[in-house]
Amino acid sequence: MRSRYSAFVVRDARYLLRTWSAGTRPPALRFDDNIEWTGLDILSTSGGSAFHTEGTVEFRAHFTLDGRPDNQYENSRFTREDGQWVYVEPLPEQTGSA
Tell me: the pLDDT tens digits for 30-40? Answer: 999 999 999 99
Q: Which amino acid is at 96?
A: G
Tell me phi and psi for residue 10, to 5 degrees. -95, 5
pLDDT band at 94 (very low <50, low <70, confident <90, very high): low
Residue 93's pLDDT is what?
Answer: 76
Please count the other Cβ atoms lying within 10 Å of the Cβ belonging to residue 92.
7
96, HSE (Cβ side, Cα atoms, 13 Å)? 1
The model carries a pTM of 0.87
**Which residues, in sequence order, are bridge partners of residue 62?**
39, 71
Of all helices (H) and strands (E), which one includes residue 2? helix 2-10
